[in-house]
Copies of this chain bind each other. A is one copy, B any other.
Amino acid sequence: MTRNTPTNRDGEASQLNDMLCFTVYSTAHAFNRVYKPLLDALQLTYPQYLVMLGLWERDGVTVKQIGEQLHLDSGTLTPLLKRLESAGLVRRARDAADERQVRISITPKGTALREKARTVGHGVVDACQQSRDELKALNAQLVKLRDKLNAS
C-alpha cells in the first residue's frame, strides 16, 4: 500500500478503453438498425451494400481487392458474393490471365439498383441529427484511431 502517486491510472485507462470499444461496437449496431429497413427495400444487407458501393465506383475488381477495401477475407466474401450472384446483381468469373483470381463484375440489374440506392443515405442522415462539420470531425478522429489499431 505504498502508492502515493495515482497509480490507478492504468485501471482507469482500461475502463475507458472498454467503454470506448463498447461505444464503437454499439454504435455500429445502432447504424445497422437504421440502415436495415432502408436496405430491405433493396434486398441487400449492409455488407452487401458496401460491396455494391465499391463496385459502382469500380467494376471488375478481384475478390482480394474488395477484401482489402472492406477489411474482409474470402471466408466472408465468397458466400456473400455468391448470394449477390444468385440475386442477379453481379457475375463471378475466373481471370483468364491468372486463374487464381476471381473478378466480380456488375450486371445490368446491379447497375440499375444504383438508382434505387441513391436515397438510402438520406434516411440515415436524418437519424444522425448532427451538423455536417461535427460528423466530419468525428469521422476523421475515428479513422485516425482505426488506422492506429490496425497498425498495431
A122 contact set on B, CB distance < 8 A: 10, 13-14
Bound complex: CA of A79 vs CA of B30, how far in Å? 22
- A33 interfacial contact with B, CB 8 Å: yes
- A19 interfacial contact with B, CB 8 Å: yes
Q: Is the interface of A mostly helix, strand, loop or mixed?
A: helix
Mask: chain A, 27-38; 1 = CB below 8 Å from B; 0 = not: 111110111000
**Which of B22, B24, B71, B127 lies in contact with A148, CB distance below 8 A?**
B127
A129 contact set on B, CB distance < 8 A: 148, 152
Q: Are the C-beta atoms of B135 and A17 separated by less than 8 Å?
A: yes
Bound complex: CA of A25 vs CA of B27, how far in Å? 8
- A75 interfacial contact with B, CB 8 Å: no
Q: How large is the interface on A (under 10, 10 to 19, 20 to 34, 35 or more residues)?
A: 35 or more
Can you name 6 extra interface pairs (CB under 8 A) apart from A13-B122, A16-B139, A138-B138? A13-B121, A14-B118, A34-B149, A130-B145, A135-B145, A138-B142
Q: Which residues of A contact B (CB under 8 A)?
A: 10-31, 33-35, 46, 50, 53, 70-71, 118, 120-122, 124-130, 132, 134-139, 141-146, 148-150, 152
